[in-house]
Amino acid sequence: MIQVRVTQSGQPTAAQLTAFKQYASVPDDAQNAMLEKLLKQAMLKVQEFSDRALLACTLELVISDIAAGERVKLYQGATAVTSVTDETGAAVEYELHPDGLYLRRACKAVKVTYTNTVNEHEADRLLPVVWQYATALYDGAEPQEQAAILKTCYGLL
């Protein structure tokens, strides 16, 4: 079992909010708080789906039954590991390589806490999908329509 969750995340920038408002043809600032919330929700969903960092985050990855020396893929633009612990909370020694993290011992379960860094070029390419998804959330689109929007990420990666 693999489980990834965002434990802390940044906010969309003022420029990203302005660009989204232009895309959605919102002329004033009366709905900024709601639009920023939708934009953040959409950015996190597209980040999860595309495996690209759109917002700076702290993430937690939990994996069951991992062997010593097995590669652990860190998702969504991982750049720094904060901690690696086993099922008892004890620290686990590891080696960090460009292709992932390697544990020095087997674990029944391991929890890796790490941070990511936004790649501005990739984020800019995915913003149109974010805007479409945020608009769909605003409009109350059906889950099938939301899923179809997320699938367009593949053509941009």
For the stretch 64-100, pLDDT in tens is 999 999 999 999 989 999 999 999 999 999 999 988 9
Contact indicator for 3, 64 with CB cutoff of 8 Å:
no
Residues 50 and 125 in one domain: yes
* Sign, CA torsion 109/113/119/120: positive
Tell me which residue range forms the domain holding 89. Answer: 57-116
Confirm whether 17 is domain-assigned.
yes
Confirm whether 48 is domain-assigned.
yes
Residues 19 and 95 in one domain: no
For the chain, the first-to-last Cα distance in angstroms comes to 26
Confirm whether 29 is domain-assigned.
yes
CA distance 107 to 99: 20
Residues 23 and 71 in one domain: no
CA–CA distances in Å: residue 144 to residues 5, 67, 81, 140, 151: 23, 38, 35, 12, 11
* Cβ-based neighbours of 141, under 8 Å, separated by 6 or more: 149
Confirm whether 132 is domain-assigned.
yes
- In this prediction, residue 145 carries a pLDDT of 96
- In this prediction, residue 40 carries a pLDDT of 97
Residues 66 and 38 in one domain: no
Residues 62 and 109 in one domain: yes
Residues 16 and 36 in one domain: yes
Neighbours of 10 (CB within 10 A): 15
- In this prediction, residue 98 carries a pLDDT of 87
Instruction: Tell me the longest C-alpha to C-alpha distance in the chain.
Output: 57
- In this prediction, residue 155 carries a pLDDT of 81
Confirm whether 5 is domain-assigned.
no
pTM value?
Answer: 0.92
Domains in the chain, number: 2
